[in-house]
C-alpha cells in the first residue's frame, strides 16, 4: 500500500490546506471564524477508488513540488489534478480531488482554485459536521471577494444555519446583502451581530459599526444612522467616530438651525470636527447675535486647529458681531436668571435664560431652568429635554443625561440618540480592545 493511499483511507489528506484557506482575511471588516486544530483532527473518512488513487498520487507529489510564483510547477500540478478529477468514480474521490485543488490554490495563492476545490468538496456531500460549516464559510468569503454576491449569499446562509451563534458569519452575510443592494437586510444582520457580541462583554470590531453607519447613509436612513452612530460612539468614544456620526446624521436629517445647534454641540464637546465646514455650520447655528460667547469659542477653536482663517470674511464678520455683543450679554446674565426664577415667568423667559446660561458653560443653572421650563405650557419639550441632557452631560451627570435624551421624540430623536451614546461611552471605563479585524474596503 502506498503512503498516499494509506493517508486517504485515514481521511487526513490536505486538511492543513483547508485550514489555510479558512485563515484567509475577510474583506469589508468582517471576520470568518479562525480555523482550529479540530478540523485536521476530525476529518471525514473516505474510501477511494483504485483508479482515482493511481491518478491522485502523482497529483499530490506535484502539489508538494510547487514553488510559489513558479508557473511551471503550478501548471504541472494543475495538469496532474485535472487527471485525478477525470478519474473520479464516486463522492469520496470527488471530496479528495477538491481538497487537492484547494491545496494547490493555497500554495499558488489562486482564489479560483480555492473556490473550485471547496465547491467540489461541498458538492460531494462528504463534509462532516465539523468541516461543513467552515467550508461554507470559506466558500462564501471567496465568492464575496469575487463579487459573486448571489453565490456568496447562498453559501453564507448555509454557514449561518450550521453555526447560528457565530456573529462574524452574520456580519459577512450582512456585507453580502449590502453589497448586493439589500441594504435593510444587511443592516439588520450587522445590528444583530453587534448586539450579540456586545452582550458577551466585549465590543464588536469597530469596522462593523462603521460599515453599518455607512450603509445607513447609503440607504438615506437617518434613524439607522443614528442607531449605528450611537452604538459606535458608545463602544468606541473617539473624536473621529463622534465627528463621523454627527456628520452623517447632519447630512440626512436636514435640521433647522436650533436642532443643528445641538447636534453641532456634540461635535464641539467631542472635538469631532472633521473639516472647516463643521466650524462654519456651528457658527451659523449658534448665531453671533444670539449666542456671542459660544460663537467666539467656536471661532477660537477653528482658528487654533488651522481649519478657519481669522482673516476670512465670514469668520471676521462673525467675530466682530459676537465681540460687539459679548459684554452686554454677559452683564445681563444675572438679570435673565432672576427673571426666569420668578413664579410669574413664562416658558419663553425661562427657556431663553436657560439657553443663554448653557452657552456660557453655566450648566448647573441651566439644568434647573430647563426643568422649570418643562413644567410650563407651550414648551418645546423635545428641545428642552435635549438641552437638559446637554447641561447634565456638561456636569458629568452621564446617567441623568442619558435618561433625558431617551425621552426625546420626533425629528430630534436622531441627534438625542447620538448624545446618549456619547454620554454612555464617557460614563463607562475603557473596554479592552477586540481582536484586530480586516479594514473595510472601498465601495
Q: Give 286-305 pLDDT, tens digit per residue.
A: 999 999 999 999 999 999 99
| 49 lies in some domain | yes
In the chain, how many domains are there?
Answer: 2
| 108 lies in some domain | yes
| 111 lies in some domain | yes
What is residue 44's predicted lDDT score, i.e. its pLDDT? 63
What's the rounded mean pLDDT across residues 138-153? 94
Separate counts of helices (H) and strands (E) for the chain: 24, 0
Burial class (CB in 10 A: 0-12, 13-18, 19+), 179: buried
* Chain segment 44-64, per-residue pLDDT in tens: 677 899 999 999 999 999 999
| 366 lies in some domain | no
CA Rg value for the chain: 30
* Chain segment 215-257, per-residue pLDDT in tens: 999 899 999 999 999 999 999 999 999 999 999 999 999 999 9
What's the rounded mean pLDDT across residues 115-130? 92
Of 298, 331, 364, the residue that ends a domain is: 331
Cell of 15: 486538511
Determine the straight-line distance between the first and last CA of the chain, rounded to whole angstroms: 54
| 294 lies in some domain | yes
Q: If you count them, how many residues does the chain have? A: 443
| 167 lies in some domain | no
Our CA angle for 437, 439, 440, nearest 5°, is: 120
| pTM, rounded to two decimals | 0.77
Lowest-pLDDT range, 149-153, 343-347, 369-373, 439-443?
439-443
| 253 lies in some domain | no
Instruction: Give CA–CA dist 88/72, Å, rounded.
Output: 25
| 176 lies in some domain | no
Query: What are phi and psi for residue 288, nearest 5 degrees?
Result: -60, -20
What is residue 187's predicted lDDT score, i.e. its pLDDT? 94
* Closest to 273 (Cα-Cα) out of 300, 296, 244, 251: 244
pLDDT band at 330 (very low <50, low <70, confident <90, very high): very high
User: Average model confidence (pLDDT) for the chain?
Assistant: 87
Of 86, 112, 143, the residue that ends a domain is: 143
Of 331, 351, 374, the residue that ends a domain is: 331
* Range of the structural domain that residue 119 is part of: 3-143
Higher pLDDT, 190 or 7: 190
Amino acid at each position: 500500500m502506498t503512503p498516499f493511499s494509506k493517508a486517504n483511507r485515514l481521511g487526513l489528506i490536505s486538511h492543513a490546506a483547508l485550514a489555510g484557506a479558512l485563515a484567509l482575511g475577510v474583506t469589508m471588516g468582517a471576520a470568518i471564524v479562525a480555523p482550529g486544530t479540530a478540523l485536521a483532527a476530525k476529518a471525514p473518512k473516505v474510501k477511494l477508488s483504485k483508479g482515482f488513487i493511481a491518478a491522485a498520487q502523482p497529483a499530490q507529489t506535484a502539489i508538494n513540488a510547487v514553488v510559489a510564483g513558479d508557473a511551471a510547477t503550478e501548471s504541472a500540478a494543475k495538469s496532474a489534478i485535472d487527471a485525478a478529477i477525470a478519474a473520479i468514480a464516486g463522492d469520496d474521490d470527488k471530496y479528495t480531488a477538491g481538497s487537492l485543488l484547494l491545496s494547490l490554490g493555497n500554495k499558488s495563492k489562486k482564489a479560483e482554485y480555492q473556490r473550485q476545490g471547496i465547491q467540489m468538496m461541498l458538492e460531494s456531500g462528504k463534509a462532516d459536521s465539523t468541516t461543513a460549516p467552515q467550508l461554507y464559510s470559506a466558500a462564501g468569503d471567496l465568492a464575496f471577494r469575487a463579487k459573486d454576491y448571489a453565490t456568496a449569499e447562498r453559501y453564507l446562509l448555509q454557514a449561518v444555519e450550521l453555526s447560528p451563534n457565530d456573529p462574524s458569519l452574520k456580519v459577512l452575510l450582512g456585507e453580502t446583502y449590502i453589497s448586493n443592494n439589500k441594504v435593510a437586510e444587511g443592516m439588520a444582520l450587522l445590528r444583530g451581530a453587534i448586539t450579540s457580541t456586545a452582550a458577551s462583554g466585549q465590543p464588536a470590531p469597530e469596522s462593523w459599526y462603521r460599515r453599518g453607519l455607512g450603509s445607513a447613509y447609503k440607504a438615506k436612513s437617518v434613524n439607522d444612522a443614528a442607531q449605528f452612530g450611537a452604538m459606535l460612539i458608545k463602544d468606541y468614544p473617539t473624536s473621529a467616530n463622534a465627528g463621523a456620526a454627527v456628520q452623517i446624521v447632519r447630512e440626512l436629517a436636514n435640521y433647522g438651525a436650533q436642532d443643528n445647534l445641538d447636534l453641532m454641540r456634540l461635535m464641539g464637546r467631542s472635538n469631532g470636527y472633521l473639516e472647516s465646514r463643521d466650524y462654519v455650520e456651528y457658527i451659523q447655528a449658534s448665531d453671533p447675535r444670539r449666542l456671542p460667547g459660544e460663537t467666539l469659542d467656536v471661532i477660537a477653536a477653528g482658528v487654533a486647529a488651522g481649519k478657519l482663517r481669522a482673516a476670512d470674511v465670514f469668520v471676521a464678520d462673525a467675530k466682530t458681531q459676537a465681540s460687539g455683543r459679548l459684554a452686554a450679554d454677559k452683564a445681563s446674565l444675572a438679570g435673565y436668571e432672576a427673571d426666569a426664577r420668578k413664579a410669574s415667568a413664562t416658558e419663553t423667559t425661562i427657556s431663553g435664560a436657560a439657553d443663554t446660561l448653557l452657552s456660557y458653560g453655566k450648566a448647573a443653572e441651566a439644568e434647573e431652568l430647563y426643568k422649570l421650563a418643562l413644567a410650563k405650557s407651550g414648551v418645546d419639550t423635545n428641545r428642552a429635554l435635549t438641552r437638559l441632557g446637554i447641561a447634565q452631560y456638561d456636569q458629568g451627570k452621564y446617567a441623568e443625561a442619558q435618561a433625558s435624551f431617551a425621552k426625546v421624540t420626533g425629528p430630534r430623536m436622531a441627534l438625542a440618540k447620538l448624545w446618549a451614546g456619547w454620554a454612555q461611552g464617557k460614563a463607562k471605563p475603557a473596554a479592552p480592545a477586540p481582536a484586530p479585524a480586516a479594514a473595510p474596503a472601498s465601495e
